[in-house]
């Protein structure tokens, strides 16, 4: 069973065991508009929570994607290199960015649950 948590920077992490899949929320992709380019991290890159891990560019702006937890990148979604619009079409599934092996699962407790995130974005509109 996987657990999904959300950051205030609009990243989500879906965790299965000690590996989390990271992407941006549907709210974030709507705010960005049509995604035209994604810069993914290298497999083996090590991040501390809050580090810039990837970049997404849209017709409106470029935005950094931050690591929601400490860990090492184990896989990247290379499909986004050829089809960055997947981020718009399926932000919370096929449009994921990278997988990270977490150093400290306790960091998930510092992120929001889905209900907390929905309340958080209501206050932004």
pLDDT 10s digits, 42-101: 999 999 999 999 999 999 989 999 999 999 999 999 999 999 999 999 999 999 999 999
Task: Check if the beta carbon of residue 36 is closer than 8 Å to that of residue 28.
Answer: no
Q: What is the 3-state secondary structure (H, E, C) of 93-119?
A: CCCCCEEEEECCHHHHHHCECHHHHHH
Q: Name the pTM for this structure.
A: 0.96
For the chain, the domain total comes to 1
82 occurs within a structural domain: yes
67 occurs within a structural domain: yes
Instruction: Read off the pLDDT of residues 97-113 as tens digits, 9 standing for 90 and up.
Output: 999 999 999 999 999 99
121 occurs within a structural domain: no
**What is the extent of the structural domain holding 11?**
3-103
Q: What is the CATH number of the domain that holds 19?
A: 2.40.50.100
Characterise 24 by phi-psi region: left (phi > 0), alpha (psi -120 to 50), beta (else): beta
125 occurs within a structural domain: no
20 occurs within a structural domain: yes
108 occurs within a structural domain: no
The length of the chain, given as a count of residues: 125
């Amino acid at each position: 069973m996987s657990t999904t948590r959300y950051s205030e920077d609009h990243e989500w992490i879906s965790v299965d065991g000690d590996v989390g899949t990271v992407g941006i929320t549907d709210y974030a992709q709507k705010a960005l508009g049509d995604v035209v380019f994604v810069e993914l991290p290298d497999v083996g890159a090590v991040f501390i929570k809050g580090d810039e891990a990837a970049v997404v560019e849209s017709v409106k702006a470029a935005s950094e994607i931050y690591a929601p937890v400490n860990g090492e990148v184990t896989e990247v979604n290379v499909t986004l290199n050829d089809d960055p619009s997947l981020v718009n079409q399926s932000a919370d599934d096929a449009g994921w960015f990278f997988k990270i092996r977490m150093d400290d699962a306790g960091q998930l407790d510092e992120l929001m649950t889905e209900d907390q995130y929905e309340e958080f974005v209501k206050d932004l509109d």
